[in-house]
Amino acid sequence: MQNRLRKSLKSNPEQIANALGWFSIGLGLAEILAPRALSRLIGAKASPGVVRLYGAREVACGIGLLSQAQEKERWLKARVAGDALDLFALGNAMTSNGAGRGRLALATAAVAGVTAVDTLCAARMSRRPFHKGEPLTVRKSITVGRGAEELYRFWRDFEQLPKFMNHLQAVSDLGNGRSHWVAKGPAGVNVEWDAQIIEDKPNESIAWTSLAGSDVDNAGEVRFVPAPGGRGTVIRVELRYNPPAGKVGATFAKILGEAPEKQVAVDLLRFKQMIETGEIARTEGQPAGRSHSTSRRFDDFVRA
């Protein structure tokens, strides 16, 4: 049963959200129309007025889930907050009502189960594709003293990218333009996704998008443009992504110093070092760590 629910949440969280909406309306109407009978059923001694307020909250959440397609995540979070309030009230009732503890325990277990579904569904809804939310966009560029053909050839072999991208653990080529990516997420938690190449112009550009079921919805493009005066190639990277927990997750990542805009800037500098000098400057193990580098140009690029 749990495995089936998890599969449903992964493949179609909107359907589960709609079911929770109808459940919320049904429970809310019961609380509004028969507060005393419901209180007796679960073994609680609650004021009818308080129960009706809980019912009004449930009905509002249910209507929101069913009528506001773009706001389902917000209404699911409201349900989670309501579930927490219900669990707190049931816990208080259990300490003061000895006769009805058995029924209260069953009610508490039921609410806890619904809370778990609400929480999982809210998490899945936060990972919806870009057209249902507002993706964050990162744009960076750098000039590398090599020809576009050489740079394109290196980037096109995705399995080489972890050599200079610190946040990548591994990339596996699945064939037919598909690949599997494993990256370090905030607080040391890995995230994974499958990607599909949607545009591939040799020596000019590569564009990709993540596939359904990814931990992080993302898409992007890298372009290789000849630099003026024959000074090499300008690499232009654009990344669009939905963080796992929306904008709150993006803020959390920035606090940990793992925001994608910083990662992309540092990765491009590491790539430039590796291609032009054959090695990447490292600071691991050095006793004199600094909050900034000794190069103002480097620091300004990362902050830009």
pLDDT band at 12 (very low <50, low <70, confident <90, very high): low
Average pLDDT over residues 292-303: 46
Quote the CA–CA distance of 134 and 269 in Å, as a whole number.
Answer: 28
Burial class (CB in 10 A: 0-12, 13-18, 19+), 228: exposed
Joined tokens for residue 268: 């491009």
Percent of the chain exceeding pLDDT 70 equals: 74
pLDDT reported for residue 7:
56
- Domains recognised in the chain with CATH numbers: 2-125 (no CATH), 130-284+292-303 (3.30.530.20)
How sure is the predictor about 243, in pLDDT bands with cuts at 50, 70 and 90?
A: low
Please state, rounded to an integer, the average pLDDT across all residues of the chain.
Answer: 79
Q: Using the predicted structure, report yes or no on whether residue 85 has a pLDDT greater than 90.
A: no
Q: In sequence order, which residues have a C-beta less than 8 Å from that of residue 264 and are 6 or more positions away?
A: 138, 140, 237, 239
Cα dihedral value 176, 177, 180, 186, nearest 10: -170
272: pLDDT confidence band, cut at 50, 70 and 90? Answer: very high
CB 40, CB 74: distance < 8 Å: no
pLDDT value of position 184: 78
What pLDDT does 240 receive? 86
Q: What is the pLDDT of residue 134?
A: 57
At 199, give phi and psi (nearest 5°).
-155, 135
- pLDDT tier, 257 (very low <50, low <70, confident <90, very high otherwise): low
Interval 172-229: pLDDT, tens: 999 999 999 998 766 667 888 999 999 999 999 999 999 988 777 888 899 999 999 8
Write the CB contacts of 107 (distance below 8 Å, at least 6 apart in sequence): 42, 43, 44, 90
Q: What global pTM score does this model have?
A: 0.50
Using one digit for the tens of pLDDT, what is the confidence trace for 17-48?
A: 888 888 889 888 988 998 888 888 887 777 88
**pLDDT of residue 129 exceeding 60:** no
Q: Whole-angstrom Cα distance, residue 238 to residue 232?
A: 20
pLDDT above 90: residue 79:
no
Of 114-128, 144-158, 239-253, 267-281, the poorest mean pLDDT is in 239-253
In this structure, of 12-16, 41-45, 94-98, 150-154, the range with the lowest mean pLDDT score is: 94-98
pLDDT band at 2 (very low <50, low <70, confident <90, very high): very low
Chain centroid to CA 67: 24
pLDDT at 208: 93
Alpha-carbon span 276 to 270, nearest angstrom: 10
